[in-house]
Amino acid sequence: MEDTKLATALVRLAHLVTRVYAEVSKEFELTPQQIQLLCMLLGGSTGMTEMSRALGLEKSSMTGLVDRAERRGVVVRVRDQRDRRACGIELTEQGREIAHDAHRKVTARVEGLIGEIDPGDRERLESVLVGIVRAPHVGRDLPQVAL
């Protein structure tokens, strides 16, 4: 019988973080997916195909997501002049602001969840978690700044 307490705690944590993420998104009157999109674009503009790969979605799902984000004025499609099939998705000024604010709010609230811990423990945990998230078999498709 192997130990699963840590795994269970992580799953619950994931549910919590998801709620935090959802709450913050709602404050901006956007969906969690749209906020994730914006945060990812903080890492630089990309095309539809690359974004769908990074987010683990079908291209057709990206089309709808970007459609709605564009309608809300937080991103724009910019036609690529060299490859006229492609387009780059870029943050509008408002989109960039929201992305930064949302990023700050989410991390601040998650920090609030963590609360007071020993500075030494904090450093250890940090390096352990970063190790997990960065493991090659794990982070392959994870966007840099998708929060």
Write down the least CB distance from residue 62 to a copy of itself, Å: 17
29, 20 contact by CB (below 8 A): no
Q: Which entry of a copy of itself, DNA, none binds 126, CB below 5 to 8 A by partner kind? A: a copy of itself
91, 102 contact by CB (below 8 A): no
Give the residue, chosen from 1, 2, 15, 82, that forms a contact with DNA under the rule CB under 7 A: 82
Q: What is the 8-class DSSP label of residue 91? A: E
Write down the least CB distance from residue 38 to DNA, Å: 11
**Does residue 135 come out as left (phi exceeding 0), alpha (psi in the -120 to 50 range) or beta?**
beta
Joined tokens for residue 101 = 């604010």
* Interface with a copy of itself, residue 86, by CB under 8 A: no
**At 95, which amino acid appears?**
G
Binding window for a copy of itself (CB under 8 A); candidates: 13-21, 44-52, 63-71, 74-82: 13-21
Residue that the structure tokens 């959802």 belong to: 22
Cα torsion through 94, 97, 99, 105, rounded to 10: -140
* Interface with DNA, residue 62, by CB under 7 A: yes
Binding window for a copy of itself (CB under 8 A); candidates: 6-14, 45-53, 76-84, 89-97: 6-14
* Interface with a copy of itself, residue 59, by CB under 8 A: no
* Interface with a copy of itself, residue 61, by CB under 8 A: no
* Interface with DNA, residue 124, by CB under 7 A: no
